[in-house]
Amino acid sequence: MPDSFRHQRLQPGIGFGSGPTGTLRSSLRPGVTVPIALYGGIGAGLGPGATGHCNPGNPAVLKEAVEAVVRSFAKHTQGYGRVNVVEALQEFWQMKLTRGADLRNGALVVYEMVPSSSPPYVCYVSLPGGSCFGSFQFCPTKAEARRSAAKIALMNSVFNEHPSRRITDDFIEKSVSEALASFNGNREEADNPNTGIGAFRFMLESNKGKSMLEFQELMTVFQLLHWNGSLKAMRERQCSRQEVLAHYSHRALDDDMRTQMAADWVNREQSVASTIALEVASTERELEDARLAGRELRFYKEKKDILMLAVGQLNAANTATLPSH
């Protein structure tokens, strides 16, 4: 197959008039329903907590757990008194970089405040690999929101270093067995890369040695491709699962991919009015629920950013077509 044709078939865009939905039933394996959880990191295969290592459901329990990890971090790093979690989080990732971690864009931790003129204030923090967390408490000040986001990010960063969070042969076997049990699969499926569970095994084996946060960063790309309908579209273009996995396993989520996905939502909006507004409302609810539960947020945050980019594209297109006076 010519490289130019392969690249065209593997573009995220799904084309004008395509519907906003697409299921992994059609994009991975006909006849077997494999929910996005299988790619996303929560549920069968990966087990609870892969996309948010602490999600007890009770805000008080979550706060207590986070504080315990922060105190433990201070103790083991010879910290005294109250820990400056913002500095501690930055120092943690700087330490990882100096010890040889593969951080392509450096060790900088990035904070983003949600615009607001009154409390509660909300802050998001993005870690060097792309994982995102948010303030999970009621924060009366912007500084407190920043500290809250840093706490949950520090907790996940520290916990992610534990050997149990590494993808090993034992972890893969256990995860695949859980996936087979959850979806009534058989062992032949797990050994066949043309099945959904086989593709899941392939992804795990391709990332052996990586941590769960690193694996989730990769899975976010596939979550977005599924959400955007692109996996279904690639299936319709006769792209094989191996082709899709191989292509996107080595492609970082970048502005070009976001722009292409945003263009798809513009096409949908032009076909069915209010499509973007409804999706934004749904995404904002998901983002809020996940943030308050202390979960990893990048998938929801990227969805919202792509939709906002689509709104900008739509406004620019409408402005360009206005009659001049």
The reported pLDDT for the residue numbered 69 is 72
**What span, in angstroms and rounded, lies between the C-alpha atoms of 71 and 82?**
9
The reported pLDDT for the residue numbered 165 is 87
**What span, in angstroms and rounded, lies between the C-alpha atoms of 305 and 142?**
21
> What is the mean pLDDT, run by run of 10 residues, along the chain of 325 residues?
51 44 29 30 31 50 73 63 83 88 87 96 95 95 96 90 89 89 82 79 88 88 91 86 82 90 95 96 97 95 97 85 56
The reported pLDDT for the residue numbered 11 is 60
**What span, in angstroms and rounded, lies between the C-alpha atoms of 41 and 219?**
7
**What span, in angstroms and rounded, lies between the C-alpha atoms of 125 and 140?**
18
Give the model confidence (pLDDT) of 124-165 as tens digits: 999 998 899 999 999 999 999 999 999 999 989 988 888 888
pTM equals 0.77
The reported pLDDT for the residue numbered 320 is 65
The reported pLDDT for the residue numbered 44 is 28
DSSP character at residue 107: S
The reported pLDDT for the residue numbered 47 is 32
The reported pLDDT for the residue numbered 78 is 56
The reported pLDDT for the residue numbered 129 is 85
Q: Where are the alpha helices (DSSP H) in 183-274?
A: 187-190, 196-206, 212-227, 230-236, 241-248, 255-271
Taking alpha carbons only, the member of 158, 154, 22 closest to residue 88 is: 154
The reported pLDDT for the residue numbered 90 is 93
